[in-house]
Amino acid sequence: MSLPPRTLGSRSIFPYLFGGLFLFLVADSWRRAEVNPGIFFEAEGREHLWRFVTGMYPPELSWEFLELMVRPTLETIQISVMGTLIAVLIGFPLGLLATSTFSFQGLLHESEYRGTGVRHGLKVGLYGLARGLLSLFRCIPEFVWAFMFVRAVGLGPFPGVLAIGVAYGGMLGKVYSEIFESVNTRPLEAIQSTGAGRLQIFFYGWFPQVLPNITSYTMYRWECAVRTSAILGLVGAGGIGQQIEISIRMFNFHEVTTLLLILFALVAGADYVSAKVRSLL
Amino acid sequence: MNQAVTTTDELAALKAGARERSRWSTYVLLGLLGALFVWSYQGSEIDLGMLFSADGGGAIVEYVERLFPPDLSGKVVADAVAGAWETLAISLIGTLLSVVIALSLAFFGSRNLVYAGLLYEMEPRRHRVLLRRLPYLTAKAILNFLRTIPEMLWALVFVFLVGLGPFPGVLALGVHTGGVLGKLFAEVLEDVDLQPVESLQSTGAGKIQILFYGILPQVLPQFISYTLYRWEVNIRVAAVLGFVGAGGLGQRIHITLSLFLEQQLLTLLLALYVLVTGVDYLSAYLRRRVV
């Protein structure tokens, strides 16, 4: 392809090139994704849609059903709490190691006379290992983790906890390390100048600075964890998701409505609690 | 606390009181948190012993060993690439659909465009304001509804409605992300800088003209930026929608997981990694270029 000569001064060919590529990609994707809006207007699609929409109302509010749903609902909350706790336990130490100003350079290390290269290399190696682990945990979706953990430890809420813990551990670790990197070093220097050791610098200079930020981000992730734990049940990892899937597969759409209402309430509740906690910070 | 404090003693006493109170509330909070953890620990049937016992731990190690080496034979790689393309296609069309949904609702979902503020201060009759609230509330309600139901559930619903394949995935992404983007767009529209709008109005421009010349140029970069961000999210989601039968890499991952084809699974996960990282870079590049 021959590019047009750039005689028009500052005008770039980028918009045209990009526009063409974009249109091509969209056309190709349209075909690949088998987009077929007509399906809603065919008899079968219409019938399914009608059955679904009319089936949703009224919501199933019989006492037996609600009573059966109490346990999965609570389980969803429990999974999200434990999953987030494990995520913090994974993310915090790995996030620390994955912070260059903590692991091998910057204030905490500058007073150290350059020891043997081996020791420095070991620190950098740990840093790289932590980064690699975090990115591995993060790049495999929660669903795949959940599926693998169902394999390893069986059905139930436990694999859901582990899946959220590992996947969110990766995300938390990355964000934690970003927060750690952006710590203001001046208070640390002030503490150092009083002769404080590294641990003291860490607890009195570093930790108080990062605590509000990491708490706030952790709360946000917990909100996401409530949503996620509600759907991890689709692969057999407990909670309300398992019930939703059963109800959809059995075409009990009025039960689906109830479950969606419960999900609304859970998510709104988590939003409220998390906003409350963040306002306390 | 606004009361006048006269002596330093009083001040010290007040401070001590506040400290005492905050300490108590800290203890109470920590206690509640502890109780929450214990309750959750019991309810979620955690069995760490199993994870670290020779049996459970051994099973995991064995599983990881079986993943290696990835199956890089031509057929598997071609399948992985096809899956990655399909996932990319789902995320792209899904995001486009979501932009269409968001744009058609966001303008009704922002107060300053529908009934309040500068554009309507010359409005003579108050009862029309009430009438105008109706589209606002409707748009907000629809956006909330679309947003609250997770993509996976939408996918389940659409698989039921239109059958297996990538199309239900597109619809699920589009509908959920439409709700998310609609909310974000409406917030951007509400935060619009009023000065250009006011100066346009003073030249006698109509509402449509104000929209096109005063508001859209301001919000467009943010719209694009949010859309690109959601695209990054969607590529990850599109990769797992296949678990409920909505095509793409997820469907292949689900199959290899179910059939114990661990080496092919690793190939697919590698493809997923390349795809996600590539989209992240592309999106960051576009954001720098366009915004």
Interface A:B, Cβ pairs < 8 A: 147
Q: Answer yes or no: is pLDDT of B291 > 70.
A: no
Which helix (H) or strand (E) covers residue B34, if one does? Answer: helix B8-43
What tens digit of pLDDT does each residue of A198-219 get? 788 888 888 888 888 888 889 9
What tens digit of pLDDT does each residue of B46-88 get? 777 777 776 666 777 777 788 788 878 888 888 888 889 999 9
Q: Which residues of B touch A82 (CB under 8 A)?
A: 37, 40-41, 44, 46
Counting every residue written for chain A, the total comes to 281
> Lowest mean pLDDT: which of A32-41, A241-250, B49-58?
B49-58
A38 touching chain B per CB within 8 A: no
pTM of the model: 0.79
pLDDT-based confidence at residue A71 (cuts at 50, 70, 90)? confident
**pLDDT in the model for residue A8:** 47
A78 touching chain B per CB within 8 A: yes
Note whether A244 contacts B45, CB cutoff 8 Å: no
**pLDDT in the model for residue B126:** 64
B161 touching chain A per CB within 8 A: yes
- Domains along the sequence of chain A with CATH: 62-280 (1.10.3720.10)
The interface residues of chain A toward chain B in range 193-232, judged by CB-CB distance below 8 A, are 227, 230-231
**pLDDT in the model for residue A1:** 42
Top pLDDT among B98 and A43 is at: B98
Mean pLDDT (chain B, rounded): 83
Going by C-alpha positions, the residue among B222, B225, B238 that lies closest to residue B283 is B225
**pLDDT in the model for residue A7:** 47
Mutate to test the interface with A, among B44, B95, B233 (most CBs of A within 10 A): B44
Q: Answer yes or no: is pLDDT of A38 > 80.
A: no
The interface residues of chain B toward chain A in range 262-281, judged by CB-CB distance below 8 A, are 269, 272-273, 276-277
Q: Which residues of B touch A14 (CB under 8 A)?
A: 289
**pLDDT in the model for residue A2:** 46
Peptide bond into B221 cis (omega under 30): no
Note whether B153 contacts A156, CB cutoff 8 Å: no
Q: Which of A71-75, A87-91, B205-209 has the highest mean pLDDT?
A: A87-91
**pLDDT in the model for residue B2:** 46
Please list the alpha-helical segments (H only) found in chain A. Answer: 14-32, 43-56, 63-97, 100-103, 107-110, 117-139, 142-153, 157-181, 185-193, 198-200, 207-232, 240-249, 253-280
Counting every residue written for chain B, the total comes to 291
**pLDDT in the model for residue B33:** 86
Q: Which residues of B touch A158 (CB under 8 A)?
A: 44-47
CA distance B93 to B167: 10
Mutate to test the interface with B, among A231, A240, A244, A247 (most CBs of B within 10 A): A231
Please check whether residue B98 is in contact with residue B173, taking contact to mean a CB–CB distance below 8 angstroms: yes
Secondary structure class of A10 (helix, strand, coil): coil
pLDDT-based confidence at residue B92 (cuts at 50, 70, 90)? very high
What tens digit of pLDDT does each residue of B105-126 get? 988 888 777 776 666 766 666 6
- Any idea which residue has 């109170």 for tokens? B21
- Any idea which residue has 């609304």 for tokens? A264
**pLDDT in the model for residue B46:** 78
**pLDDT in the model for residue B56:** 65
A53 touching chain B per CB within 8 A: no
**pLDDT in the model for residue A105:** 65
Report the pLDDT averaged over residues A38-43: 76
> Lowest mean pLDDT: which of A82-86, A150-154, B27-31, B247-251?
A150-154
What tens digit of pLDDT does each residue of A108-158 get? 666 555 556 777 778 888 888 988 899 888 888 888 888 888 877 788 888
